[in-house]
Amino acid sequence: MDNLKVILILGIFFLVLFVTETKAQKNHWGGNVEFGYFSLEGREYIGGPGFYPREYFAIGVTYIRTISPKFDVETGLTYSRSRFLIRAGGNPNFPDIVEYNDWENLITAPFYLKWNVSPRVFFNGGPNISWNMEENTFDTGYGFGIGYQVSINDSNKILINPMFQARGLSSDQNSGVYHIGLRLVFTTSSFFGKKE
């Protein structure tokens, strides 16, 4: 079942990529990194251990397709790893306090619309799909942010993009991960050869 979910995420990702025409001035590939803080939903219960979110980081590939002078479509695949502290005990039944770290690992495919307000400033956001590797769940989410893009040259850009992203939201389990962090994206169109 795990393999089917990975194949589905990859299939959606590549479908979005290859239904579009590949022209250098419209397509940008790149890599991204994220880091920041997060919160967990659906973990606490009465009498159980406490969950204390710490930090997260993410790394992935990004594809941006220009659809008009003001709008781009953005997708890709991102692996995120969120660390949280679990603390149990400290009660009459179990007086000793036990603490240990655990992680939430997700693979996410975003489907974001990017609105270029100016040549440098943009807003982005939209839905995403995540596979929770520990819980073996496949759930939707969303994200939105504001950013600043720096053109290194005609082909290469750096995007500085603070974002809020909800990943792996499960309505029946009432669980999910909420990331607030800084996203850095490096994109290039030089893979496609000379611009038309």
CATH number at residue 137: 2.40.160
Taking the alpha carbons of 13, 14, 15, 21 in that order, is the dihedral positive or negative? positive
Determine the pLDDT at residue 124: 97
List the pLDDT tens digit at each of the 196 positions of the chain.
455 555 566 666 666 555 554 444 578 889 999 999 887 665 555 456 677 778 889 999 999 988 888 999 999 999 999 888 887 766 666 666 778 788 889 999 999 999 999 999 999 999 999 988 887 878 889 999 999 999 998 889 999 999 999 887 766 656 678 889 999 999 998 654 444 4
Instruction: Say how far apart CA 195 and CA 16 lie, in whole Å.
Output: 22
Determine the pLDDT at residue 115: 96
Determine the pLDDT at residue 92: 61
Instruction: Say how far apart CA 82 and CA 34 lie, in whole Å.
Output: 11
Determine the pLDDT at residue 190: 66
What is the SS3 assignment for 28-55?
A: EEEEEEEEEEEEEECCCCCCCCEEEEEE
Please state the domain count of the chain. 1
Determine the pLDDT at residue 9: 63
| Residue-range definition of the domain harbouring residue 102 | 2-192
